[in-house]
Amino acid sequence: MNTEKNIKTLIVKKPLKLDCGKTIKDFPIAYETYGSLNSKKDNAILVFHALTGDQFITGINPVTNKEGWWSYAVGPDKAIDTNKYFVICSNVIGGCMGSYGPSHKDPDQKIFGTNFPVITINDMVNAQYNLLDHFGIDKLFSITGGSMGGMQVLQFISNFPDKSKTVIPIATTSSHSAQNIAFNELGRQAITADSNWKDGNYTSNDTNPGKGLAVARMAAHITYLSKKGLQEKFGRKLQEREDLKFGFDADFQIESYLRYQGSVFVDRFDANSYLYITRAMDYFDLAKQFNGNLSEAFINTKAKFFIISFTSDWLYPTQENKDIVIALNSIGADVGFVEIESDKGHDSFLLDVPDFLNALKNFLDKSYEEN
């Protein structure tokens, strides 16, 4: 899975102490860039991807041959305009698109599987911080990302308060809720219940826990959409048939759609990575790192924040995004906030939602003009 060409890799020599206590070194971070870094090196934007994303934000992903996950938002003249900005994105550690993860080999040349150390959002951003040195960037113009990407945004600015001028967390939370953890656990249980999982020691593609991973993806996919969105798109429409078949085949279009989503996901994602990354999300509780006071996480930064949520997002609802706004206001930070009207659920940040894309573009471009 990690042997594809077209993957740019930075080998991080410096040891990184992980939250679990273990230390990793000489590990790879796979990244991609778009646009070009200007001579002042003040136009760089670091994008953090969500649970199943990767470094290939826009254009055709050379590994999957599909559109990048944020093609609506990133590209020439788009909200994150690559004619103007130098956009960097890297695969999180624990991932499966080239960065150090459970499908890599340990020093004894044995595939890690579940022997890979458990990683956190904090570990992910500490690893990615090495990209700034690699590109010789002293200060980023912006950091942004949605969902788990937003968690990394919050953790990054907390860890490195003077390393970005602007900060844009989108559809995210500062602390994974019980409901969030519950859905992730459902996905993990589906994977580990697949007899091909073998305690994480599956090896070839033939024997991987694809069925479990597909079920995990199907369950998660429902949480990314809204009830209204699903009803409007599928309703009770039947799948290529005139009437119910009185069996357990996919009678309804929604069933067929979910099965398809599950099957294509299995082709591009590693089951053990899914376990590791969902665990990192569940462990995320930024306030807890500061004795329960979220404001303390941002006390040292002068960055300008812009927080965006969506009306129909019930996975990371507006209130959880607003809690971050409140924490920032209580310390007099520079923070703007908008809730975008959309019935596309949590996935809104990935889709063609003009109000969202306009707000993102206007915030970035106006902030850059003031530079």
Partner 1 sequence: MKNEFQVIADLIEKDKKVLDVGCADGTLMKFLKDNKNINIRGLEISKEKVQECIAKGLTVIEGNAEKDLKQFPDKSFDYVVLSQTLQAFLNPELVLDELLRVGKKAIVTIPNFGYWKVRFHLLFKGTMPITKTLPDEWYNTPNLHMCTIKDFFHFVKSKDIKIFKSLALNNLNTSIINESNLGVKNLFADLGIFLIEK
Interatomic CA distance for residues 371 and 369, integer angstroms: 5
For residue 42, the minimal CB distance to partner 1 (Å) is: 17
Catalytic residue, chosen from 103, 164, 194, 346, is 346
Report whether 240 contacts 251 (CB < 8 A): no
Cross-strand pairs, 308:
170, 338
Identity of the residue, 253 or 311, whose beta carbon is nearer to partner 1 in the bound complex: 311
For residue 357, the minimal CB distance to partner 1 (Å) is: 11
Report whether 286 contacts 152 (CB < 8 A): no
Identity of the residue, 96 or 170, whose beta carbon is nearer to partner 1 in the bound complex: 170
For residue 224, the minimal CB distance to partner 1 (Å) is: 22
Identity of the residue, 132 or 333, whose beta carbon is nearer to partner 1 in the bound complex: 333
For residue 317, the minimal CB distance to partner 1 (Å) is: 14
- Residues of this chain that interact with partner 1 (CB under 8 A) are 304, 325-326, 329-332, 334-341, 355, 358-359, 362-363, 366-367, 369-370
For residue 22, the minimal CB distance to partner 1 (Å) is: 40
Identity of the residue, 106 or 341, whose beta carbon is nearer to partner 1 in the bound complex: 341
Owner of token pair 């003077």? 162
**Is 313 among the catalytic positions?**
yes
**Is 123 among the catalytic positions?**
no
For residue 333, the minimal CB distance to partner 1 (Å) is: 10
Identity of the residue, 184 or 226, whose beta carbon is nearer to partner 1 in the bound complex: 226
Catalytic residue, chosen from 90, 103, 142, 147, is 147
Identity of the residue, 12 or 340, whose beta carbon is nearer to partner 1 in the bound complex: 340
Q: What are the Cα distances from residue 315, in Å, to 129, 223, 249, 283, 344?
A: 28, 6, 29, 16, 12
**Is 334 among the catalytic positions?**
no
Catalytic residue, chosen from 81, 123, 282, 313, is 313
Q: Which of the residues are catalytic?
A: 147, 313, 346
